Structure 1
Amino acid sequence: MIKNLRVNALLTLLLFTMAACVKNDPAPTIVGLEVNVNVINASDDILNFYLNGTRQNSTTGIFPLAASGYTDVPYASQLAFRRLFNNQTFDNSEILFTVPVTVDTTGTDNRRYSLFTAGPTANTAFILRDTIVSDTGNAKLRFVVASPETTKLKVTLNDTLYFTTTAFKSASVFKPVGGTGVKAVEIRDADTNTLLYSTRLTLNVGNNYTLFSQGRVTDRTFKAGLTTNQ
């Protein structure tokens, strides 16, 4: 009887200790998990990005308004960004900034992300999850504000309002755009209705696209780019 009581007491103590450890232990590290990252250059520089000292993009660099395409990147790794060529120091050794790829990895169906760089510092970079769902009857488009110091914007396609945004780093969801073909795109100041940028884009049914702003309104460098999310 006494022996059984001792065994029960030890088991209770063991269970209590294990529960305390589980409660206080830090979250487990995600080992071996990779995510797909597409670097979109909304800055004025031609950029390269590196993982563990190895360049991940092509030798020509990522030009302004261009994208790297999706690259497998280990979760929680650090991506380093450098100019293709520094006109002041006449080399490409300077690391402008690093960005940790610590992203939301819930769900297993889609781990794709866009990393936008809007300038030479880390606070101008941001990551968005790309929730891509194909639509056989429509193209899909989202709008991302990758232009610092931007006020409220509105975007029309063929004179139809599709997006309104509030600030730098804001993004819409992917919205269906009916029909394949050329769309007349206008980006305006939402408060004054001043036209900031206009262009014509060809969108194809079944594809997902990101339209993103670049530059500043104050110095008349404001423009927009388009990348495909596939």
Structure 2
Amino acid sequence: MNMKLPVLVVVLLAVALASCKKTDDAPTVVQTTNLNVVNAFTDTLNYYVNGTRVNVSSSLYPLGSSGYIGVAVGQQNYDFKRPLSPVVLFNRSLALDSGKTYTLYVAGRSTDLTFTTLDTLQADTANRARIRFVNAAPDAGNLDVMVGDTVKFKVRAFKTATVFLPVNAGLKRIRVYQSGSTIAKIDETRTLIAGRVYTLFTKGKLNGAGDAVLGTGLVVNR
């Protein structure tokens, strides 16, 4: 009986130490990066990873964006659904690196109509705005874009993006042409604020009607 008691004490101490070791283990750290999703299509969308909705604050309305949201780095599969629908319209696999900033553009209801840009965001320090152009209009062909009278983006194909260029703040006339044409497909005005960083993107189709008509959207990246 005297021998059994010390053995029992040793066993209990070993269990307690093992329990403490498990408690003291450092939690798993999930590296994240920033992803913005821009809806250049006519459907309102939500997107999910492993069944969990990512854009929890609001659905993505046409011409809207999620803003930059922290997502896990590495290979992830993103499922896109309409609000309140369990049906996956399409999915897109992305391999994202840490310490970088991305935008995913959705230009239609299939994976091949999605594409990403790597965003380098730096505000202008000379009381100007910065703007780039992204062609997210699937059938528009190459496009030329003028922002005011100074910024020109030339021969931009579908799924391509320009660099961010500085432009004076204020009300700016924006004209979009098919490359080589002198007749503007889009002629509109936008107000740009000093210190902000913008993405101007096209959406829709050349001969589209209603929500699918060729147009532009403007995203504030910063």
TM-score (norm 1): 0.77
Task: State whether structure 2 residue 141 is matched by structure 1 residue 151.
Answer: yes
Aligned-pair CA distance for 1:219: 2.6
Q: How do 1:56-205 residues align onto structure 2 when only pairs under 5 Å count? A: 56-58=54-56, 60-75=58-73, 76-84=75-83, 92-103=85-96, 105=98, 108=99, 111-137=100-126, 138-178=128-168, 180-205=169-194
Aligned to 1:224: 216
Aligned-pair CA distance for 1:161: 4.7
Quick one: distance in 1 between partners of 2:155 and 2:200?
13
1:107-153: CA deviation from partner (whole Å, max 9, x where unpaired): x4xx1110000001000011111111121212100000011012121
Native 8 Å contact 1:144 1:212 kept in 2: yes
Q: Secondary structure at the match of 2:191?
A: strand
Q: Secondary structure at the match of 2:112?
A: helix
1:46-101: CA deviation from partner (whole Å, max 9, x where unpaired): 0011122121224652111110111111122211101226xxxxxx1110111122
Aligned to 2:3: none
The CA RMSD over aligned residues, in Å, is 1.7
Aligned to 1:21: none
Q: 1:139 to 1:59 in 2, by over 3 A?
A: closer
Quick one: distance in 1 between partners of 2:186 and 2:69?
31
Read off the aligned partner of 1:226 and give its amino acid letter.
L
Read off the aligned partner of 1:94 and give its amino acid letter.
V
The runs of at least 4 aligned residues of structure 1 exceeding 3 Å deviation read none
Aligned-pair CA distance for 1:163: 0.7
Aligned to 2:12: none
Q: Secondary structure at the match of 2:67?
A: strand
Aligned-pair CA distance for 1:160: 3.6
Aligned to 2:196: 207
User: Unpaired runs of 5+ in structure 2?
Assistant: 1-28
Quick one: distance in 2 between partners of 1:59 and 1:48?
10
Aligned-pair CA distance for 1:218: 2.6
Q: Secondary structure at the match of 1:155?
A: strand
Native 8 Å contact 2:199 2:221 kept in 1: yes
Aligned-pair CA distance for 1:33: 2.6
Aligned-pair CA distance for 1:192: 2.1
Quick one: distance in 1 between partners of 2:57 and 2:65?
13
TM-score (norm 2): 0.79
Aligned to 2:49: 51
Read off the aligned partner of 2:42 and give its amino acid letter.
D
Quick one: distance in 2 between partners of 1:59 and 1:172?
29
1:203-228: CA deviation from partner (whole Å, max 9, x where unpaired): 11111100000001033510000001
What percent identity do the matched residue pairs reach?
Answer: 35
